[in-house]
Amino acid sequence: MEKEAKIYIAGHRGMVGSAIYRKLKKEGFTNFVTRTSDTLDLRNQQAVADFFEQEKPDYVFVAAAKVGGIIANNTYRAEFLYDNLQIQNNIIHQSYLNGVKKLMFLGSSCIYPKMAPQPLKEEYLLTGLLEETNEPYAIAKIAGIKMCDAYRAQYGCNYISVMPTNLYGYNDNYHPQNSHVLPAMIRRFHEAKENGAPAVTIWGTGSPKREFLFADDLAEACYYLMLNYNEAGHINIGTGEDLSIKDLAYLVKDIIGYTGEINFDTSKPDGTPRKLMDVSKLQSKGWKYSTTLAEGIKLAYQDFLNNHNHLAER
Ligand SMILES: NC(=O)C1=CN([C@@H]2O[C@H](COP(=O)(O)OP(=O)(O)OC[C@H]3O[C@@H](n4cnc5c(N)ncnc54)[C@H](OP(=O)(O)O)[C@@H]3O)[C@@H](O)[C@H]2O)C=CC1
Ligand SMILES: C[C@H]1O[C@H](OP(=O)(O)OP(=O)(O)OC[C@H]2O[C@@H](n3cnc4c(=O)[nH]c(N)nc43)[C@H](O)[C@@H]2O)[C@@H](O)[C@@H](O)C1=O
């Protein structure tokens, strides 16, 4: 990417988009085009066509999506399928029509079969049934990978797909029901500490295992791959290390300094038992994460205290 190139970050206000935006600014890029969802609804085909025709970006990061945790995915199944297909179809097709030089599509580790062998290698895609709670979201993300590959095969477009593991970081969503597990725990343990509550309830059995990557590390990886990866087929982005939800709860509890008990609400879904990323392809390209989970949780908690504590209802 040339330093003066025009870069469109779709979803630049979100957790991931804002991390990519910060990283590119730090690297000396200055020519950005951005729109909020209020001014450009990416589900609207004509509006996206007009936007690309007017702005003609050189490079595109697709970090706009309908995103949420296990309950949001399971509840808003139609929106997770429709919104995500519309957003990615519109951006990818208009990028092709308007001569975008390179595009990065962000998917998710939920594309892999629920019972795939661990760690999850890229080649396990479409080898089994998906996890039920996030099947609509996963189907949309799989369509995004295949769309990038099809546009590469038929039209020669340099569109790449990256599959991040579970993420957390600055500017996360702290909604009590719709968020992912880590921001949910940060908020719940913090509020319990503030209120002197005797116990905190965690969803599910606590036995599922998850891997977590700090969003600023993800942004580093996205930048690195935008410069160094030009292949069909997707690439995993993660740490290659996981822990149980129960162990995560005790880690967050310690960092926040909550001294009460932890209960498990087994009426809530566990989701996929495990989704540990195989990151050997990523490491062979020369990238590895740098922020440990404990460091990252401390940074995210500080951001929660500074910026989200008063309005955690997004
Ligand atoms: N969070 C996670 O754990 C993971 C995320 N990912 C992927 O990373 C990407 C970014 O996720 P994340 O940053 O966490 O999500 P956020 O919810 O923080 O941000 C999503 C962004 O998408 C934009 N957006 C949503 N709908 C529309 C729309 N109809 N029109 C225009 N813009 C829209 C929003 O824009 P606005 O702010 O203007 O409303 C928002 O800024 C997604 O593709 C997600 O699938 C992958 C793995 C894990
Ligand atoms: C990134 C990924 O995220 C989603 O999948 P998920 O990994 O299941 O995401 P999650 O973070 O919501 O839950 C992780 C685990 O944690 C447990 N859990 C405990 N207590 C809370 C809790 O309070 N909130 C939440 N959300 N989960 C909790 C929860 O029961 C589950 O076992 C996809 O839908 C999709 O969006 C996607 O791609």
d(CA 110, CA 131): 8
CA 110 to ligand 2: nearest atom: 38
Q: So what's the pLDDT on residue 314? A: 44
Position in ligand 1 atom list of the atom nearest CA 64? 22
292 CA distance to ligand 1 middle (Å):
23
The predicted pLDDT at position 14 comes to 97
What pLDDT, on a 0 to 100 scale, did the predictor assign at position 310? 65
SS (H, E, C) 235-271: EEECCCCCEEHHHHHHHHHHHHCCCCEEEEECCCCCC
Question: Which structure tokens are listed for 4?
Answer: 């003066």
CB of 79 sitting under 6 A from ligand 1:
no
pLDDT score of 262? 98
Distance CA 147, CA 91 (A): 11
Beta bridge partners of 167: 213
Residues with catalytic function: 137
- What is the rounded distance in angstroms from the CA atom of residue 28 to the CA atom of residue 38? 28
Q: Which pLDDT value is given to residue 309? A: 75
* Alpha carbon separation from 276 to 126, 174, 209, 244 (Å, rounded): 17, 24, 8, 11
Taking alpha carbons only, the member of 183, 189, 193 closest to residue 300 is 183
Three-state SS for 200? strand
Give pLDDT, residue 235: 98
Task: Compute, in angstroms, the gap from residue 278 CA to the centroid of ligand 2.
Answer: 20
Mutate to test the pocket of ligand 2, among 130, 131, 180, 265 (most ligand atoms within 8 A of CB): 180
Q: What Å distances lie between residue 164 and 58, 106, 112, CA to CA?
A: 24, 7, 12
Binding residues for substrate, by number, are: 188, 203, 210, 270
- Which residues are documented as binding site? 11-17, 106-109, 141, 164-167, 180, 188, 203, 210, 270
Q: For atom 41 of ligand 1, which residue has the closest CA?
A: 14
Tokens of 97: 């029509």
205-262 pLDDT, tens digit each:
999 999 999 999 999 999 999 999 999 999 999 999 999 999 999 999 999 999 999 9
Helix (H, G, I), strand (E, B) or coil at 102: strand
Core vs surface per residue 58-67: b (16+ CB within 10 A) or e: bbbbbbbbbb
Q: Cα of 203 to ligand 2 centre, how many Å?
A: 9
How far apart are alpha carbons 292 and 20 in whole angstroms?
19
Enumerate the H helices of the chain as residue ranges: 15-26, 45-55, 70-75, 77-97, 135-155, 181-195, 215-228, 245-256, 280-285, 293-303
Residues near ligand 2 (Cβ within 6 A): 68-70, 73, 108, 110, 133-134, 137, 166, 179-181, 184, 202-204, 208, 210, 245, 268-272
User: Which ligand 1 atom minimizes the distance to the CA of 15?
Assistant: 13
Task: Catalogue all structural domains in the chain, each as residue range(s) with its CATH number.
Answer: 7-307 (3.40.50.720)
C-beta 67 within 6 A of ligand 1: yes
The list of the chain residues with pLDDT below 70 reads: 310-314
pLDDT per position as a tens digit, 168-200: 999 999 999 999 999 999 999 999 999 999 999
Compute the distance from residue 56 Cα to the ligand 2 centre, in Å. Answer: 37
Q: Is-contact 116 195, C-beta < 8 A?
A: no
- Tell me the binding residues for NADP(+): 11-17, 106-109, 141, 164-167, 180
- Mapped onto helix, strand or coil, the DSSP state of residue 9 is strand
d(CA 139, CA 270): 20
- The whole-number pLDDT of residue 242 equals 98
Nearest residue (CA) to ligand 2, atom 25: 181
Check pocket membership of 108 for ligand 1, CB cut-off 6 A.
Answer: yes
Query: CA separation (Å) from 125 to 100, 144, 231?
Result: 27, 13, 16
In this prediction the ipTM stands at: 0.98
What is the phi/psi pair of residue 239, to 5°? -105, -25
**Sign of the torsion formed by the C-alpha atoms of 6, 8, 14 and 17:** negative
For ligand 2, what atom is nearest to the CA of residue 188?
Answer: 23
The one-character DSSP state at 130 is P
d(CA 219, CA 160): 15
